[in-house]
Amino acid sequence: MAALLCFCALISAVCCAPLIETQPEQVHVSYPGEISLFMIDSCQSKQRQTVVVFIPIIFWLSVVEYGLWGGKLFSHTAEGDASVFIDGGPENRTMYVHRVTLTDLTPAASYVYHCGSDAGWSDIFYFTSLNESVSFSPRFALFGDMGNENPQSLSRLQKETQMGMYDVILHIGDFAYDMHEDNGRIGDEFMRQIQSIAAYTPYMTCPGNHEWAYNFSHYRSRFSMPGHTENLWYSWNIGPAHIISFSTEVYFYLEYGLDLLFRQYDWLQADLQEANRPENRAQRPWIITMGHRPMYCSNDDGDDCTHFQSYVRLGRNDTKPIAPGLEDLFYQYGVDLELWAHEHTYERLWPVYDYKVFNGSSEEPYVNPKAPVHIITGSAGCREKHDGFIPKPRDWSAFRSTDYGYTRMRLINGTHLYLEQVSDDQVALACVCVSVCLFVCVCVSE
Ligand SMILES: [Fe+2]
């Protein structure tokens, strides 16, 4: 019992340009859940993480005051630490990231908090600590490619988050467009924009190509995901699912080190092996991946996913040694659902492996599918607007939409998972269901 109560939360903060403001801003929270199955430090592996970003700070104290919702306000205090982040642009702007970990949280309890110091405090926010039961049915909002300009889905996400509709938000790469621009001020502004959702609901991420600048330094510095890879790849557990986040960008930005690609591949293989140990898979039968650039898509823009020889799917044969792709690995270890973005559209695939469809049956294609199901949801809105599709979809393409929007997902239990796609261009929804029995419901506006 004592071990079960070893819960923690990390609160961090970033401070920007040395103005006179001493109030925190860009507050956001995240948590690792039970994180990597091979974490050696068991206390760390039970940690709950809350990340708070403060701005301009001249002092180094990082404090979060918090308490149970309905209880005595700010009955607990936690201190963290600050780190310096220097943007790589011509101004070399200095930012300060503050992280604080909250420990001994009651599972599935709501907390009220603020962050700062006697020099200035943030607004009051609230979050719910992780429910670690495998029978928990978590609700997700997920999307990619949301920018500072034209974030079409943000207002709906703000309202729905405030209504308590989500337990987790997944942002599948491409933030702000781009966080490094204007010497990092676009990143600051974007983080202020998403504070309205990310200060209340854990905001879990993976890197996209728009984070490329200065070796992904803004992405590495501004977020705090599980593990020790500066957010590049990690895994965590929630309810009946094991969720794996990884970087597709290691296949494209070789100048930052081919070794990253191999280190990630080895980690993915080990993580999938562990998640597939019978006792682990029995507890968490769903294995879900999230990465930015998809293996498949039927867009008309010539991106990697439009090619049969997709780097992400099949690897690269122009490197020494040859770089392995991910499709065989994910198929071999029974990944159920693969979440992608990058294309500014929505596309749902039939269960697919090696360009072939492996439906459960013709009547119920998503019931006991024989290959992973892919969802591409990169249409949350950005300055690049929409992408287009080729006129005739491939056999593996089940549904396509160019509407702005995002995806809702609920892990109902160990056999049923529900997905629906929300259109920000149209109000009505349409659905699909998968079950593992993979029971997937996908709803899309029609
Ligand atoms: Fe992208």
One domain, residues 199 and 244:
yes
Q: Is residue 66 part of a domain?
A: yes
This model's pTM is above 0.85: yes
> Which of 16, 96, 30 is closest to 61 using CA atoms?
96
Per-residue pLDDT, 21: 61
Do 327 and 353 form a contact (C-beta atoms < 8 A)?
A: yes
Q: Mean pLDDT, consecutive 10-residue segments, the chain of 446 residues?
A: 36 46 82 35 28 41 88 91 90 87 85 86 90 94 97 95 95 97 95 94 96 97 89 95 98 97 98 98 98 98 97 97 98 98 97 98 96 98 93 96 96 96 76 47 40
Alpha helices, DSSP H, located in 204-337: 213-222, 258-275, 278-283, 311-314, 327-332
Q: What is the DSSP string of 23-36?
A: SB-S------TT--
Where a domain ends, among 71, 99, 128? 128
- What percentage of the chain carries pLDDT values higher than 70? 84
CATH number at residue 206: 3.60.21.10
Per-residue pLDDT, 2: 31
Distance in Å, CA 189 to ligand 1 centroid: 19
Distance in Å, CA 362 to ligand 1 centroid: 33
One domain, residues 114 and 146:
no
> In DSSP terms, which residues pair with 389 in a beta bridge?
299
One domain, residues 206 and 256:
yes
Condensed to tens digits (0 to 9), the pLDDT of residues 286-302 reads 999 999 999 999 999 99
Distance of CA 17 to the CA centre of its chain: 27
Where a domain ends, among 93, 128, 163? 128
Distance in Å, CA 187 to ligand 1 centroid: 16
Distance in Å, CA 177 to ligand 1 centroid: 10
One domain, residues 102 and 147:
no
One domain, residues 221 and 355:
yes
Q: Is residue 47 part of a domain?
A: yes
Distance in Å, CA 209 to ligand 1 centroid: 5
Per-residue pLDDT, 184: 94
Distance in Å, CA 95 to ligand 1 centroid: 25
Distance in Å, CA 208 to ligand 1 centroid: 5
Per-residue pLDDT, 239: 94
Task: Count how many domains the chain has.
Answer: 2
Q: Is residue 133 part of a domain?
A: no
Q: Is residue 349 part of a domain?
A: yes
One domain, residues 289 and 379:
yes
Per-residue pLDDT, 102: 82
One domain, residues 360 and 242:
yes
The residue segments making up the domain with residue 210 are 139-443
Distance in Å, CA 341 to ligand 1 centroid: 7
CATH number at residue 110: 2.60.40
Q: Is residue 3 part of a domain?
A: no
One domain, residues 336 and 377:
yes
Q: Is residue 1 part of a domain?
A: no
Distance in Å, CA 378 to ligand 1 centroid: 8
Q: What are the strands, taking DSSP E only, across 87-240?
A: 94-103, 110-117, 120-121, 125-128, 139-143, 146-147, 168-171, 175-176, 203-205, 234-238
Distance in Å, CA 144 to ligand 1 centroid: 8
The structure tokens listed for 422 are: 């929300």
One domain, residues 101 and 153:
no
Per-residue pLDDT, 14: 52
One domain, residues 337 and 277:
yes
**Which uninterrupted H or E stretch holds 43?**
helix 42-45
Distance in Å, CA 248 to ligand 1 centroid: 10
Condensed to tens digits (0 to 9), the pLDDT of residues 373-390 reads 999 999 999 999 999 999
Where a domain ends, among 128, 150, 167? 128
One domain, residues 293 and 420:
yes
Q: Is residue 364 part of a domain?
A: yes
Distance in Å, CA 8 to ligand 1 centroid: 33
Distance in Å, CA 32 to ligand 1 centroid: 24
329: left (phi over 0), alpha (psi -120 to 50) or beta: alpha
Distance in Å, CA 132 to ligand 1 centroid: 32
Residue 322: count of CB within 10 angstroms of its CB? 10
Residue 215: count of CB within 10 angstroms of its CB? 16
Q: Is residue 134 part of a domain?
A: no
One domain, residues 33 and 143:
no
Distance in Å, CA 343 to ligand 1 centroid: 7
